[in-house]
Amino acid sequence: MTSATSQPHRWPSQDLRRAVEAAGIALWTWDVDDDSFTMDERGFELWGLPWRDRVTFEELSAHIHPADRDRVRAAFSATRGIAGGYETDFRIMLGSEARWIASRGRGEDVGIVGRSMFGIFLDVTGRKQAEEGHELLAGEMSHRVKNLLAIATGLTHITSRSTSTTADMARELTQRLSALGRAHDLVRPLPGGQGTAALLGDLLSVLLAPYDDLGAFSGRIRVAVERMGVGEATATSLALVIHELATNSLKYGALSSGTGTLDVTTETTDTELALIWMERGGPPVEAPPAPNGFGSKLVHRSVSKQLGGAIEYDWSVDGLIATLRLDRERLAL
């Protein structure tokens, strides 16, 4: 039990230094009169600069991401008139790499000693990347839920065209929704590296099965592609792209019409595979004025980053033609 006269523990300076180093904290001092910074070795490492006695604020500003630079300058300038603590997060550029830095300090007379202010820099790149990942996942989940609702509505309309009784409609709609569930499993990677490579034609057939008509209207979706295997990573990314194209076709394109058709074919060279998605017989289509919706971004990110390829759109009078140009070597991954 502590006594009423006991004093707070005073940490030895070497222990404080060990704690600062363990936390990855960089210390800085800012001379408010000449705008110069003094930083410890960790500070210069953080900014990717060789150590020296002093560095000017303008020299540091040159390394701040252009989108953050004015905001950071304004934040530091404002500290002269702020009483108490302040904080700001910003990006700095180390070549092509962006690093997130958190700056913390004290403003006005509270933090000024001999016309100098004191604070810390902390690398928070990992936390920021995690936050961005969570935001991206939330946006993707919201987008998929909206798409699934639109698909369910479209599949109901398709089923109503090929059935004459409520019992037949219920049976076929259940079959379609079950097929949609199997296809949707392909849009996410399996945990722990489960699963094996699939044939490209089989993969496309499973993904597009929910959208094809049954009975008298069957066969309006035709898949004729090169016989080749694709790896798990490729199957997941390609499934997401096909799922997005099919959803848009069901909403606006050939699959929204009882007379519309879809052909998926391939053209190949020694190094490249072109997967061609051609819609015909649907309503007139035209290029969107600004193809920057979440779905479009999702497709471009999957094709360029995960598949190492590119996608081209031809909004022809007869219907959309989308061409995915893919590196053959990447398809096995």
pLDDT tens for each residue of the chain, 333 residues long: 455 556 666 767 776 777 777 777 888 887 777 778 888 888 888 888 888 888 888 888 888 888 888 888 777 766 666 556 677 888 888 887 888 888 887 655 554 555 677 788 888 888 877 777 777 667 767 766 666 666 677 667 766 765 678 887 777 677 666 666 665 565 455 454 444 557 888 888 888 887 776 544 467 889 999 888 887 777 777 877 887 788 788 888 898 887 889 999 999 888 889 999 999 988 888 877 665 565 676 677 778 877 888 889 998 888 999 999 988 888 877
Quote the CA–CA distance of 244 and 238 in Å, as a whole number: 10
Quote the CA–CA distance of 314 and 293 in Å, as a whole number: 18
Q: How close are the terminal C-alpha atoms of the chain, in Å?
A: 64
Q: Which residues of 283-305 are buried (b: 16+ CB within 10 A; e: fewer)?
A: eebeeeeeeeebbbebbebbbee
Note the Cα 40 to chain centre separation in Å. Answer: 36
- What is the amino acid identity at position 206? V
Q: Are 30 and 37 in contact (CB under 8 A)?
A: yes
CATH superfamily of 14-123: PAS domain (3.30.450.20)
Domain boundaries, the chain: 14-123, 136-332
Q: How far is CA 325 from CA 39, 175, 305, 319, in A?
A: 50, 33, 13, 19
CATH class of domain segment(s) 136-332? alpha beta
Tell me how far apart the 2 most distant CA atoms of the chain are, in Å: 93
Q: Are 241 and 326 in contact (CB under 8 A)?
A: no
DSSP state letter for 329:
G
Quote the CA–CA distance of 222 and 205 in Å, as a whole number: 9
φ/ψ bin of 319: left (φ > 0), alpha (ψ from -120 to 50), beta (otherwise)? left
Q: 14-123 and 136-332: same fold?
A: no
Identify the burial level of 234 via C-beta atoms within 10 angstroms of its C-beta, where 0-12 means exposed, 13-18 middle and 19 or more buried: buried
Encoding tokens for residue 132?
A: 């961005």
